[in-house]
Amino acid sequence: MEEDRKKAHPALTRRHFLAAVGAGAATVVASSHLAAGASTKARVMEPTEMTKIRLRINGRTHRLLVEPRWSLLFVLRERLGLTAVKSGCERGECGACTVLVNDVPRYACMMLAVEMQGADIITLEGLMNGEKLGHVQQAFLEHDAFQCGYCTPGQIVAVEGLLRRNPDPSNDEIRKGVSGNLCRCGAYTHIFQAVERAAQLKRGQR
Amino acid sequence: MKQEEKGVYYTEGLFVPETPTPGKAPKPWGETAVIGKSRPRVDAYERVSGSAVYPSDFSLPHMLHGAVLRCPHPHAKVRKLDTSKAEKMPGVHGLISGATREADVYWPYSKDVKTKLFDSICRFEGEAVAAVAAETPYQVWDAVEAIQVEYDVFPFIVDEKKALRSGAPQVHGAGNLVKPKETYSRGDVQEGFAQADVMREESYRTECEVHTPMELHGCVAYWDGDLLVIHESTQGVYAVQSKVAQVLGLPLSKVRVIGHYLGGGFGSKLQPGKYTVIAALLAGKTGRAVKLFVTREETYLCTGNRPPANMTLKAGVKKDGTLTALEFSVLGTGGAYPAGGTSLVDWLIKDLYTCPHVRTEATDVYINAGPARPFRAPGHPQGSWALEQMLDALAEAIDMDPVELRLKNIPAYSQARPGTPAYTTTGLKECLEEGARAFRWEERRKEIENSGKNGSLRRGVGMAGCLWIAGGGGPPSTVIVKLFSDGSVNLNMGASDIGTGTKTVMAMVVAEELGIRTEMIQIEHADTGTTQYATPSGGSKTVPTEAPAVRSAAIHVKQQLLRMAADDLGMDVSGLHFKGNEITADSDPPKKIKIREISGLKKQGVVVGVGYRGPNPEGKVVNPFAAQFCEVEVNTETGEVRILDLLGTNESGRVMDRLTYNNQVHGGITMGIGFAMTEVRVLDAHGTGKMVNRNWHDYKLPTALDVPPHMEAVPIELPDPEANNTGAKGLGEPVTIPTGAAIANAVYHATGVRVTQTPLNPTRLSLIFSERLKER
């Protein structure tokens, strides 16, 4: 019974617990983070207080119940099953979780889901045309621009973002464009080739 | 496996079943239609579309998330553990520790050293103390943080150079020596030095490097009745199965390990971790599936590393370039438990160049740091850093081109192995000559030397050669090829594709042999429940081990089809030939039958071919060889080094897929750049003993901005019919061995500064340059 109650009202149990022991470090951090971005009159939420949000992801609106401390990465991967958004470091170092936010490549691990309402979020899955690969994906396939493939979704999304703002990047611009995405297998040179090819494909060249 | 190769991947205690009796080996291919071409990967669509499900992507209904509480001290004893608060936290379903019955199992750190899974003594920062499963990762970390531990903190030793000093804190209480010094000797080094015209002696050090594959280490584990199912990010499902079964006391048949994809391993995922067993125990305790992947910070502490190497090398050479003597010593550490801390560091010194008088000595010590795991070409990049810089110095001392000096000392046979067996091919000469030609070595060297050394931007060229001790592959391996009635094929093998393109190469082998398109092949792999036995993918042995077995299985299918076709055509098998999707007969008039029309196949539904990996040639050694050439530009004011060009030649037998081959060479070079220039584990030896740079910001990997604008892979395809029935040898490791030394040699050529310690970074170089200015 206790189990069932917890499942149904996790926030209640959590609050009860917090009241008993005082606010933990996690509460303070999350609260101050939220408070910093909101107006001074905004109510500070408890880190485990479930809240309703709407996220626009790959052209569809999702209504979700989230804890304010949940990262966009966690929500995309573990709540929506968009597992092309990879988890590599959860601290903004590797770029494996790169998604487009209003056409700009950003690390999903560094953003809270509650902050992303109103934004247009695109993941690797959103670059597909049905079952057909998008241009950047096709270029990565042709040029073998990956080995283990784990950083690849992030790399492809970063390249998509680069090409959306710069359809004809120079070598240096390509390197800078993917320099926020680590590849431990070291497929960088093939990635550079794939970016050039993707730019061609986007221009309609075969 | 040959005796001297046993330590390569530290498989001590690893269960390896008997090698199956090999079938009659077929002749190597002549001309090929598929093999050797550039072909995108068979699983490229899955990997670029996001539909590939990596173990960390795996999800099950009601799945819990696991996390491990780790010791924050390098050396401590758990005095008191209070989990009462944590167990009552929201979402928590299970907690295990040294005090819970479920976790009363032993973890074998080596064949001889076992500790409790959650031992009260923690000998390194990051040792497991307790673990929790909860509904979300947030809840599980809340609970981990709520566990209250009181530690008795002990003195620690994290500097291996001081581990043998008297009074040094003891990791295990019996001196810090892992085992007696290992020595090797041939000839008489003193006599060798007496014969030399020139002698040089130098100390070198390479830093501890951490694998940090992109996908974290871990698994999703659940119990299906009494069957434990583990989806692990691993290089070898059978290796995980055997160790988990050993630790939990289960029959192998009750541990099913699946690893269809993994996001990189580089040797650190050849074995399971405590995390694997912990996930299984938490799954058992909670009755739910448990996903347990360690955090990035934890990967720096407890999932392995390439040990640091403190080396000295003394060498003698005659004026004509004949090496007379090499005397080498290395001190290293595999951390707090036996883990091959000096494994194979001396191999290149013993085996790469002809030298009659050689002595080596290796001292492996314990320190209070996480245990090492095999890391891409264990020992070799470290030894190469010393040996190849020494050869460069010797060449200069006798006024000889560095390439020429190496060419003078090409070995005809393996000097370090008992009985000095010949290599099936020694491609070192071709790698050096073809590489020098393709790179325009002599011309570029002269151009730079003639241009004079003015200004702060200095250019230089450098090179290095290598071999890799393994890379020939070998038994055991079993593969099944199943041909369906429409001629399409299912390929069943246990091997993992760790990103090297294993699946693609194996599909190409089937396509080559059966004349079908790779699109007609479905691959079932890396699952102990449904696929055949394979050793872990590592040691650059996956292609030379699995490809011959795949080919044998495909040939077995063909043999059966030929017999069936012979019945249909009323002819003898000897006159029939397999041509694409039909079988033709040498008859007048010519007869033929389409594969899918063979009545035997229709009756049976499928034809199943079984292939085994046969033995390697008796009394011979199968090793890949390589050389790399590079040009750098050094800024003598800032110490920055730009690599302008890096060319790699590899004698790895037959090229299987030219596209993935290229990628592998570039990737190995990139990792070599990290080893030489950016990567270093920093332990706080004077304060806390903790690792201070356990993240990708402070522990820097090469990025897109750090790779040379130009890289080139030049295959040296010497026919090697003795190696195996495909003529292919390993590539993944030789590509990363010589990079560091080649860069260091180029920096010397550019500046006259010999950098003997990694990382060769702007901090170190600018300090050296400023010291030099002071001396003037």
Q: d(Cα B578, Cα B592) in Å, to the nearest integer? A: 10
ω into B40 cis (within 30 of 0): no
Contact B53 A133 (CB under 8 A): no
Tokens 């497929």 locate to A187
Q: d(Cα B611, Cα B509) in Å, to the nearest integer? A: 13
Give per-residue pLDDT as tens, B667-686.
Answer: 999 999 999 999 999 999 99
Report the residue from B56, B91, B659 with minimal CB separation from A87.
B56
Contact A148 B57 (CB under 8 A): no
Q: d(Cα A137, Cα A127) in Å, to the nearest integer? A: 8
Residue A18 and residue A25 in contact, taking contact as beta carbons nearer than 8 Å = no
Determine the residue type at A50: M
% of chain B with per-residue pLDDT over 90? 90
Does the CB of B277 have a partner CB in chain A at under 8 Å? no
For chain B, what is the mean pLDDT? 94
Residue B652 and residue B769 in contact, taking contact as beta carbons nearer than 8 Å = no
Does the CB of B505 have a partner CB in chain A at under 8 Å? no
Q: Give the contacts of B573 (CB within 8 A, at least 6 positions apart).
A: B562, B563, B566
Q: What is the DSSP string of chain A?
A: -HHHHHHH-HHHHHHHHHHHH---HHHHHHHHHHHHHS-TTSPPPPTT--EEEEEEETTEEEEEEE-TT-BHHHIIIIIS--TTS--S-SSSSS-TTEEEETTEEEEGGGSBGGGGTT-EEE-GGGG-BTTBPPHHHHHHHHTT--SS-SSHHHHHHHHHHHHHH-SS--HHHHHHHTTTS--TT--HHHHHHHHHHHHHHHTT--
Q: Decide which of B585, B612, B639 is a domain's last residue.
A: B612
Residue A34 has pLDDT above 60, yes or no: no
Which residues partner with B132 through β-bridges? B67, B95
Does the CB of A149 have a partner CB in chain B at under 8 Å? yes
% of chain B with per-residue pLDDT over 70? 97
Does the CB of A130 have a partner CB in chain B at under 8 Å? no
Contact A190 B663 (CB under 8 A): yes
Give per-residue pLDDT as tens, B364-403.
Answer: 999 999 999 999 999 999 999 999 999 999 999 999 999 9
Q: Are residues B684 and B608 in the same domain?
A: no
pLDDT of residue B410: 98
Q: Are residues B457 and B533 in the same domain?
A: no
Q: Are residues B643 and B752 in the same domain?
A: yes
Strand, helix or coil for residue B306 = strand
Contact residues on chain B for A176, CB-CB shorter than 8 A: 704-705
Q: Are residues B148 and B291 in the same domain?
A: yes
Question: Minimal CA–CA distance to B514: which of B606, B595, B614?
Answer: B595
A188, A192, A196: best mutation site toward chain B, by most B Cβ within 10 Å? A188
Give per-residue pLDDT as tens, A98-129.
Answer: 999 999 999 999 999 999 999 999 999 999 99
Q: Are residues B375 and B256 in the same domain?
A: no
Residue B662 and residue B743 in contact, taking contact as beta carbons nearer than 8 Å = no
What residue numbers bound the domain in which B531 lies? 473-612
CATH architecture of A51-124: Roll (3.10)
pLDDT of residue B25: 57
CB atoms within 10 A of CB B153: 16
Is the ipTM of this structure higher than 0.85? yes
The chain B residue lying nearest A89, using CA atoms, is: B296
Give per-residue pLDDT as tens, B239-276.
Answer: 999 999 999 999 999 999 999 999 999 999 999 999 99
Q: Are residues B231 and B325 in the same domain?
A: no
Residue A17 has pLDDT above 50, yes or no: no
In a domain? residue B188: no
If you average pLDDT over residues B110-133, what whole number do you get? 97
Residue A10 has pLDDT above 50, yes or no: no
Task: List, in sequence order, every beta strand (DSSP E) within B136-190.
Answer: 148-153, 182-186
In this structure, of A9-18, A71-80, B614-623, B645-654, the range with the lowest mean pLDDT score is A9-18
Residue B485 has pLDDT above 70, yes or no: yes
In a domain? residue B43: no
Side-chain-side CA neighbours of residue B7 (13 Å): 15
Q: Are residues B412 and B549 in the same domain?
A: no
**Sheet of strand B641-651: strand arrangement:** B457-467, B625-635, B641-651, B710-715
Residue A53 and residue A118 in contact, taking contact as beta carbons nearer than 8 Å = no
Overall domain count for chain B: 3
Q: d(Cα B403, Cα B388) in Å, to the nearest integer? A: 11
Q: Give the contacts of A43 (CB within 8 A, at least 6 positions apart).
A: none
Residue B342 and residue B364 in contact, taking contact as beta carbons nearer than 8 Å = yes
Determine the residue type at A117: Q
Tokens 């929201």 locate to B90
Contact residues on chain A for B234, CB-CB shorter than 8 A: none
If you average pLDDT over residues A130-148, what whole number do you get? 98
Q: Are residues B519 and B581 in the same domain?
A: yes
Report the residue from B40, B264, B696 with minimal CB separation from A148.
B264
Does the CB of A107 have a partner CB in chain B at under 8 Å? no
Task: Band the pLDDT of B128: cuts 50, 70, 90.
Answer: very high
Residue A163 and residue A122 in contact, taking contact as beta carbons nearer than 8 Å = no
Q: Are residues B692 and B770 in the same domain?
A: yes
pLDDT of residue B28: 81
Report the residue from A74, A78, A179 with minimal CB separation from B703.
A179
Residue B131 has pLDDT above 70, yes or no: yes
Residue B498 and residue B504 in contact, taking contact as beta carbons nearer than 8 Å = no
**Burial status of residue B118 (CB atoms within 10 A of its CB: 0-12, 13-18, 19 or more):** buried
pLDDT of residue B735: 98
In a domain? residue B186: no
If you average pLDDT over residues B75-80, what whole number do you get? 98
pLDDT of residue B587: 81
Contact B296 A88 (CB under 8 A): yes
Q: Decide which of B248, B267, B302 is a domain's last residue.
A: B302
The domain locations on chain A are 2-37, 51-124, 127-202
Q: Are residues B224 and B293 in the same domain?
A: yes
pLDDT of residue A86: 98
Contact A150 B264 (CB under 8 A): yes
- Provide the CATH number for the domain around residue B278: 3.30.365.10
User: For residue B49, which phi and psi values (nearest 5 degrees)?
Assistant: -90, -15
Residue B557 and residue B604 in contact, taking contact as beta carbons nearer than 8 Å = no
Q: d(Cα B97, Cα B694) in Å, to the nearest integer? A: 25
Task: Band the pLDDT of B29: cuts 50, 70, 90.
Answer: confident
In a domain? residue B2: no
Tokens describing residue B748: 């010397």
pLDDT of residue A19: 36
Q: d(Cα B678, Cα A70) in Å, to the nearest integer? A: 33
**pTM for this prediction:** 0.93
Residue B535 has pLDDT above 80, yes or no: yes
pLDDT of residue A152: 98
pLDDT of residue B586: 84
Tokens describing residue A176: 């800078």
Residue B683 and residue B620 in contact, taking contact as beta carbons nearer than 8 Å = no
> Residue B108: enclosing H or E segment and its boundaries?
strand B106-108
Task: Band the pLDDT of B21: cuts 50, 70, 90.
Answer: very low
Q: Are residues B508 and B405 in the same domain?
A: no
Pairing of strands B489-493, B478-484: antiparallel
Question: Minimal CA–CA distance to A185: which of B532, B136, B413, B664?
Answer: B664
If you average pLDDT over residues A20-26, what whole number do you get? 36
- CB contacts < 8 A, A to B, total 189
In a domain? residue B205: no
ω into B759 cis (within 30 of 0): yes
Q: Are residues B218 and B254 in the same domain?
A: yes
CATH of A127-202, one of 1.10.10.10, 2.30.290.10, 1.10.357.10, 1.10.150.120: 1.10.150.120
